[in-house]
């Protein structure tokens, strides 16, 4: 056994041992200085302090804070120590810089703490190198300013920061001007759902504070008053002891424009496919009708010749009867009276004439259907607009004949014009059908006024050929006239209109032909659509 009396007691080093304290402090990356407030000299510095100043221990202990800190004199520094002594926790933080002996400035965040009587009235200075923190801040700022989305930072009082994209998106040139705004200044009074922008914004901010983030769609307003759709991501974080909100605002105008364009293209494709199917069906029906119509027409012509011969024969027979006395003549007269020959002689030619007119009408309709449904060229061709109008009017006859009389005022000297005949035929068809519907709506409300009038007029000048299609309908109210050519806008009842006809017509006339499609309208009197097509093919257009 070991004799306790002979055991040498080894003193165990504790955390309060000066050597251990120095060891621990030298492991800290921050610079640690202990200052004598009377002489303003350092009585202790750690390895971190030596690295920050770039000098040896003895050299640094011979210095004062005035030798290594920037922008501070003795009076200001002693007042700073007094402020530290008077704080509730005897501690104060300031941001400054330390001059390195190599000549460069090291940004640091300095914490000063009064050590009290037990620390012999000395002060502890801890200097944290901000180089890496500032580098990250600079990187964040570059990302902040490089973002294509608007980024704003705000507190309870309003905006406190924004990036360049925010100025661009909201239409402001100077950051100082934008930061004077309140979030309510860049939003309309109400959102599309009718809610107050201020109340809705407060709700979203509360959600961001409670849940850290909140993502939603919003309606914003530019400096010039134009409203635009956005997607907003709000996130909350703490900065300098207060909760601040960062908002990332993405302008959805372009995305929604692309979506509308995509919907428009899909609608046009569907419309074209339907027209192609209808065209093939119409062409097939026209072909099938054409042959029996020819048979009927030929037979009617035969009947016309036969009736003429029969009339001659009956006239000769009447002459013979008149010259032949006796019972035979009486029997012939009785037979003619029984057959009512005098009535037949008058009516048969009229019936044949009417039948011939009907066959001509069928032939005209069939020819119009074949022309209208014929696949058009993808290239512009010289087109007789008057003929195109007559053909389309014939095809649309069933839409307008019950509600309107057609009046034509076509300039027979109209020169040919380069166009896509099939697509222009669809434009005219849409306008005729819309006009017929407008007149029909008036007739439905006032059954005693009779038919309305559809007028089609052509004219030309040095540059353009003009087509006017007028109806005597109810006219277009002023408050919706600006929306007439918008995709999917319609005043017709559900199932009767898609709102695409005029939008497509406008695109065909303006986009594909380089022309114009306008209208004049007066409530209670009707509407006139005016198509102007350039007489010469414009270069650079969408052919």
Residue 364 shares a structural domain with residue 410: no
The residue written with tokens 């005043």 in the block is 491
Residue 501: count other Cβ atoms within 10 Å of its Cβ: 19
- Boundary (domain end) residue, out of 99, 130, 161: 130
Show the domain range for 455: 380-543
Residue 256, both tokens? 């929604």
- The CA–CA distances, whole Å, from 347 to 62, 208, 357 equal 138, 91, 15
Same-domain check for residues 334 and 418: no
In this structure, is residue 295 part of a structural domain? yes
Which two three-digit tokens encode residue 315?
A: 């006239």
Print pLDDT tens along the chain (543 aa): 334 444 434 444 454 567 777 788 888 889 999 999 989 999 999 999 999 899 999 999 999 999 898 888 888 899 988 888 888 878 888 878 888 877 788 888 888 999 876 657 899 999 988 877 777 777 777 777 788 899 999 888 889 999 999 999 999 999 999 999 888 899 999 998 999 999 999 899 899 888 888 999 999 999 999 999 999 999 988 877 788 899 999 998 888 888 877 777 776 666 656 555 555 666 666 666 777 777 787 888 888 888 888 888 888 887 887 777 778 777 877 887 787 888 888 888 888 887 877 777 777 666 666 655 555 556 788 999 999 999 888 878 888 888 999 999 999 999 999 988 878 888 898 899 889 988 988 876 666 677 899 999 999 999 999 999 999 988 888 888 877 877 655 655 544 444 456 777 888 888 888 899 999 999 888 999 999 999 887 654 444
Structure tokens at 316: 């000769």
- CATH number of the domain bearing residue 392: 3.30.565.10
Q: 414 and 270 in one domain?
A: no
Which of 430, 428, 400 is closest to 500 using CA atoms? 430
Checking DSSP bridges between strand 404-409 and strand 452-460, what pairing results, if any? parallel
Contact criterion met (CB below 8 Å) for 59 and 85: no
Number of domains in the chain: 4
Domain boundary among 192, 216, 251: 251
247 and 191, same domain (yes or no): yes
Q: Does 135 reside within a domain?
A: no
Would you state the torsion angle of the CA atoms of residues 148, 152, 153, 156, taken in this order, to the nearest 10 degrees? -160
- Among 359, 375, 391, the domain-final residue is 375
116 with 154, same domain: the answer is no
For residue 392, give every residue at least 6 positions away whose Cβ sits within 8 Å of its Cβ, in sequence order, or none: 368, 372, 425, 428, 429, 432
In a domain, 4, yes or no: no
Same domain for 366 and 436, yes or no, is no
Nearest CA to 77 out of 101, 110, 32 is that of 110
**If residue 145 lies in a helix (H) or strand (E), which one and from where to where?**
helix 131-146
Statement to judge: residues 508 and 527 lie in one domain: yes
SS3 of residue 356 by DSSP:
helix
Q: What is the Cβ-side half-sphere exposure of residue 144, based on CA atoms within 13 angstroms?
A: 14
Sign of the CA dihedral 429, 432, 435, 441?
negative
CATH number of the structural domain spanning residue 200: 3.30.450.20
Distance of CA 52 to the CA centre of its chain: 57
Same domain, 395 and 538: yes
């Amino acid at each position: 056994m070991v004799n306790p009396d002979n055991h040498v007691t080894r003193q165990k080093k504790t955390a309060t041992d000066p050597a251990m304290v120095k060891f621990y402090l030298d492991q800290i990356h921050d610079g640690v200085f202990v200052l004598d407030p009377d002489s303003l000299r350092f009585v202790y510095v750690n390895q971190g302090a030596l690295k920050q100043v770039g000098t040896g221990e003895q050299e640094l202990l011979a210095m004062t804070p005035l030798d290594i800190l920037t922008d501070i004199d003795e009076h200001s520094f002693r007042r700073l120590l007094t402020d530290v002594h008077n704080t509730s926790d005897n501690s104060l933080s300031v941001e400054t810089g330390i001059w390195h002996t190599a000549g460069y400035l090291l940004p640091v965040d300095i914490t000063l703490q009064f050590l009290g009587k037990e620390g012999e009235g000395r002060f502890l200075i801890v200097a944290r190198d901000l180089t890496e923190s500032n580098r990250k801040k600079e990187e964040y700022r570059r990302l902040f300013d490089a973002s294509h989305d608007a980024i704003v930072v705000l507190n309870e009082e309003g905006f406190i920061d924004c990036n360049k994209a925010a100025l661009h998106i909201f239409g402001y040139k100077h950051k100082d001007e934008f930061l004077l705004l309140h979030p309510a200044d860049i939003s309309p009074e109400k959102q599309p759902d009718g809610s107050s922008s201020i109340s809705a914004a407060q709700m979203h901010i509360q959600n961001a504070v409670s849940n850290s983030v909140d993502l939603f769609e919003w309606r914003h307003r530019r400096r010039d008053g134009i409203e635009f759709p956005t997607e907003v991501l709000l996130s909350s974080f703490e900065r300098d002891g207060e909760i601040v909100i960062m908002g990332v605002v993405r302008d959805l105008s372009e995305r929604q424009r692309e979506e509308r364009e995509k919907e428009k293209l899909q609608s046009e494709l569907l419309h074209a496919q339907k027209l192609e199917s209808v065209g093939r069906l119409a062409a097939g029906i026209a072909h099938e009708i054409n042959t029996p119509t020819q048979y009927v027409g030929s037979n009617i012509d035969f009947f016309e010749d036969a009736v003429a011969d029969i009339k001659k024969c009956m006239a000769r027979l009447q002459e013979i009867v008149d010259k032949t006395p006796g019972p035979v003549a009486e029997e012939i007269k009785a037979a003619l009276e029984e057959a009512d020959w005098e009535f037949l002689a008058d009516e048969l030619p009229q019936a044949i004439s009417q039948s011939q007119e009907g066959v001509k009408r069928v032939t005209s309709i069939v020819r119009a259907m074949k022309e209208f449904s014929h696949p058009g060229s993808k290239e512009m061709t010289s087109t007789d607009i008057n003929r195109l109008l007559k053909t389309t009017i014939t095809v649309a006859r069933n839409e307008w004949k019950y509600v309107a009389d057609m009046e034509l005022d076509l300039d027979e000297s109209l020169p040919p014009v380069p166009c896509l005949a099939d697509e222009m035929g669809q434009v005219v068809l849409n306008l005729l059908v819309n006009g017929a519907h407008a007149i029909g709506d008036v007739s439905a409300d006032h059954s005693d006024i009779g038919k309305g009038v559809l007028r089609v007029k052509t004219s030309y000048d040095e540059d353009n050929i003009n087509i006017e299609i007028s109806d005597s309908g109810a006219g277009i109210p002023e408050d919706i006239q600006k929306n007439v050519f918008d995709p999917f806008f319609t005043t017709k009842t559900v199932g009767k209109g898609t709102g695409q006809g005029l939008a497509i017509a406008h695109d065909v006339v303006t986009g594909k032909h380089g022309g114009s499609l306008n209208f004049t309208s007066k409530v209670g009197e009707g509407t006139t659509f005016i198509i102007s097509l350039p007489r010469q093919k414009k270069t650079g257009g969408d052919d």
